[in-house]
Structure 1
Amino acid sequence: MKVQKIHQSSAVGGLECWGTAGLPGTPPMQISGLKKAVPGEECVDAGIFQITPGTYRRAVKQAEVMHILCGHGSFTPDGADTVTFTHGDTLFFEANTEGTWVVSETMRKVYVVLL
């Protein structure tokens, strides 16, 4: 199929459980999502990612583009200023960007990771 659609991606149900995240000594954050394959583009990982409130370290080493569908919080890159986000914001991460997420309200995003 040349065009794939996720109808109402900010509210779509049926996300798969992807496990937990969180810093040691903090309550676990629940991660869920939905991956979408782009035929012929195996160098792209894309879909919906959702995580409950808490604090965790960014684990993605590749460049990433994300659009926040709901939730709010902040990301502090190591050695750089904190960036706050809320629904409607789009963030661009360079490859090898490390830092700490603080999710204040359950965050759902559409993401594209360039592998």
Structure 2
Amino acid sequence: MPITILSQSAQCQALTPSGPVGAPITEPACVTQTLEVPLEGAGNNRSGLWAVSIGRFSRHLANAEVMHILSGECTFTPTGGEAQPIKAGDTLFFPANTTGVWDIKTPLRKVYVVMAAE
């Protein structure tokens, strides 16, 4: 089983445009780029790199997710909670059905693993 190495993933140029965010709050809508990295044996879990431009949008993903921020700065305000500052070097663990608002201050790039729904 081969391993995948993305050298200097914060500067990786292999991401491709994947359209606007699903639930934009600001106009123009934040634009995303993605590099999905298939992982043998991961079942229906998805992983890769994801980048987003400046702006605000609602988190609408029902799945649990683990992410590590490679570059950028933002806040995430969980529904009914306080704004959480997030920056490059931070690792986040989102339980399933976490909702809230992303406020991207500088273009953000992350490594992600989205868990398959149960």
Unaligned runs of 5+ in 1: none
Structure with higher strand content? 1
1:81 Cα deviation after fit: 1.6
What is the match of residue 83 of structure 2? 82
Deviations 1:2-59 (A, max 9, x none): 3111111000002111101222x52121100100111122221100000000000112
Greater Cα shift, 76-85 or 93-102: 76-85
CA distance in 2, matches of 1:35, 1:42: 14
TM-score calculated relative to the size of structure 2: 0.91
What is the match of residue 7 of structure 2? 7
TM-score calculated relative to the size of structure 1: 0.94
% identical equivalent positions: 35
Unaligned runs of 5+ in 2: none
CA distance in 2, matches of 1:92, 1:71: 18
Secondary structure, aligned partner of 2:77: strand
What is the match of residue 106 of structure 2? 105
- RMSD between aligned residues: 1.1
CA distance in 1, matches of 2:42, 2:68: 20
CA distance in 1, matches of 2:20, 2:12: 20
Consecutive aligned runs of 4 or more in structure 1 exceeding 3 Å deviation: none
CA distance in 1, matches of 2:89, 2:98: 22
What is the match of residue 65 of structure 1? 66
